[in-house]
Structure 1
Amino acid sequence: MLEIERDSPMKSRRLDFRDKVAVLTGAGSGIGRALALELAARGCHLAIADIREETLTAVAAELAQFPIRVSTHVLDVASREQVASFPARVLAAHPAVDLLFNNAGVAVGGHFLDTPEADYDWLFEINFHGVVRMTRAFLPGLLQRPDAHVVNTASLFSLIAPAGQTHYAASKFAVRAFSDALRHELERSTVGVSAVCPGGVATAIARSARFSPTLPAGAIEKQLERSRRLLRMPPERAAQIILRGVEKRSPRIIVGYDAWLGYLLERVLPTGYWSLMRNLTS
């Protein structure tokens, strides 16, 4: 069992990104891309990872304008073998790692009994087990740094659990719980932990989601259109909010008015918020 006995005076100060090294998964698009650009603008060196090489190459080209070190890594966070060997790949390009952003994620849409178990397994391997594996791989090194932080992307659906989100919400509740418990374990160390809870950010996650095969013709396109209407915050704005929260070492970073509304509804009506939400959106 990990025993940590020292206090950390660094946690009372604002986190400075300049000249730190950040590992960032899901960096090829959406919030991940925006985080990479915002971190680079703040002087943070980057090891960016994504499962798609072409998107990594495009983001790396955008990062070339900044005077920082950038390494790109094709990585499947669902692969135990790839994640286990990943720290060595990063340390071949950077002297150490100070920040870990576990941002890679996918979505599954559809009701519980209509969704294949294989889709559930696929989602959990990426959304939750990927976060756990990455943290296990990098945490020993982070604990050797004078000022380090782990940032796990959860979701509005780690605060509330609407119908049709049984799989996705479960994975994101797990990320938030893992983040909270890990933060408590590390409270006397030099490593902080934040859980990020974004609301409707304009990313491609809905377009790349898996949907129940029993959905009638046209239903998927209707769901995608509804997602386009709800996912409105620019990723660049989300990245600014996230890094402001990390800078303050906030344990929970809620992104967007809709996420704040969901958070407050769950606090006020912990078992009754769904009835209110259903009536408001019907």
Structure 2
Amino acid sequence: MAALRKINLQDGVAVVTGAAGGIGAALALQLAEKGCHLALADVNGAGLAEVAAKAQAYGVKVSTLVLDMGQAESAQGLLDHVLAHHGRATVLINNAGVALGGQFEQVSEEDFDWLMSINFGAVVRLTRVFMPLLQQSQAAQIVNMSSIFGIIAPPGQTAYSAAKFAVRGFSEALCHELEVGNSSVRMTLLHPGGVRTGIATSARLPASVTAQEIKLHQKNWQKALRLSPEVAARRILRGIERREPRVLVGDDAVAASWIQRLLPVTYWRWVARGMSRSFRDAV
């Protein structure tokens, strides 16, 4: 088997979904700083334009496309955009995602399917349509966003955890396929912990959830989101450059991985105690 060629981000072309804010925006700007050209996609056109303007200051080519990753045709639309504006791609970062709170019995089938289509379905669709283009490069990387909730599964996150565990399973299996096939394309699976993004405050909640419950939900989760997107992006880019198959982002993600392995059945009672203390100490 030939030695694995490292990724050189300079003069590469990175496709980043969910690039209008949070980790996606931080990744876009740090990629631009390294001299990587960008194709950025998000449903938030205003946020996307702002990130693109900042990235262009580094002298790289930046294209943007406003689209909803929950729509099946968006994957082909993004590929067509990249071919038209860049002609190639060396990194695909499947970062776009949404959140949905509430107990399983509160969550409608429609909302469950909505989240799965964006958080998991879009990952599969984009990976499928971009694979032939990525394979044309001597070294290319697919980067899929799972979560700490793709390691542990808390109550109130049945849809979100289902999607993130699905991303994990899909990515690990594909990673092994690419390795066995000695492909020029490799996989990096991300498990970020609590990163300060807007996903918690923008989460969709069932109609049966009261205003007081919504306020408490947002307050508690904001306390758990302690890592800045910029710090998270630096760790992720290091993993991409090294072509690491798995990147745990944040001390909480590392801790979750350990406790899940040590206590695969009973881990949640210990995690819940730790979270309760963290929320209390953060007040």
1:236 paired to 2:202: no
1:207 shift after superposition: 1.5
1:256 paired to 2:250: yes
- 1:53 match: 45
Between the aligned partners of 1:96 and 1:157, the Cα distance in structure 2 is 33
**Residue 67 of structure 1 is aligned with which of 47, 59, 63?**
59
Between the aligned partners of 1:212 and 1:260, the Cα distance in structure 2 is 31
1:120 paired to 2:112: yes
Between the aligned partners of 1:81 and 1:249, the Cα distance in structure 2 is 29
1:137 paired to 2:132: no
In the TM superposition, what whole-angstrom CA distance separates every residue of 1:28-81 from its partner, at most 9, and x where no partner exists? 000000000010011111001101111111111111211111111112211122
Between the aligned partners of 1:90 and 1:15, the Cα distance in structure 2 is 19
- 2:19 match: 27
1:8 shift after superposition: 4.6
Structure 1: runs of 5+ lacking an equivalent: 1-6
1:215 shift after superposition: 1.9
- 2:148 match: 156
Q: CA RMSD in A?
A: 1.1
1:107 paired to 2:110: no
- 1:86 match: 78
* Paired amino acid for 2:155: A
1:192 shift after superposition: 0.6
Q: Does the C-alpha gap of structure 1 residues 95 and 201 become closer, same or farther in structure 2, counting only changes over 3 Å?
A: same
1:196 paired to 2:197: no
Moved more, 147-156 or 73-82: 73-82
Q: Does the C-alpha gap of structure 1 residues 221 and 173 become closer, same or farther in structure 2, counting only changes over 3 Å?
A: same
**Residue 77 of structure 1 is aligned with which of 64, 69, 91?**
69
* Paired amino acid for 2:226: R
Between the aligned partners of 1:75 and 1:167, the Cα distance in structure 2 is 22
1:227 paired to 2:227: no
- 2:200 match: 206
**Residue 216 of structure 1 is aligned with which of 210, 214, 219?**
210
Residues 157, 168 of structure 1: 8 Å contact kept: yes
- 1:183 match: 175
Between the aligned partners of 1:92 and 1:281, the Cα distance in structure 2 is 47
* Paired amino acid for 1:204: G
- 1:4 match: none
* Paired amino acid for 1:222: L
1:281 shift after superposition: 3.3
Between the aligned partners of 1:238 and 1:217, the Cα distance in structure 2 is 31
Residues 193, 249 of structure 2: 8 Å contact kept: yes
**Residue 271 of structure 1 is aligned with which of 265, 271, 279?**
265
Percent identity over paired residues: 47
SS at match of 1:84: helix
1:17 paired to 2:9: yes
Between the aligned partners of 1:276 and 1:119, the Cα distance in structure 2 is 30
Residues 109, 212 of structure 1: 8 Å contact kept: yes
Between the aligned partners of 1:276 and 1:228, the Cα distance in structure 2 is 20
In the TM superposition, what whole-angstrom CA distance separates every residue of 1:185-220 from its partner, at most 9, and x where no partner exists? 111100010110000000000121111222233110
Residues 83, 137 of structure 1: 8 Å contact kept: yes
1:277 shift after superposition: 1.6
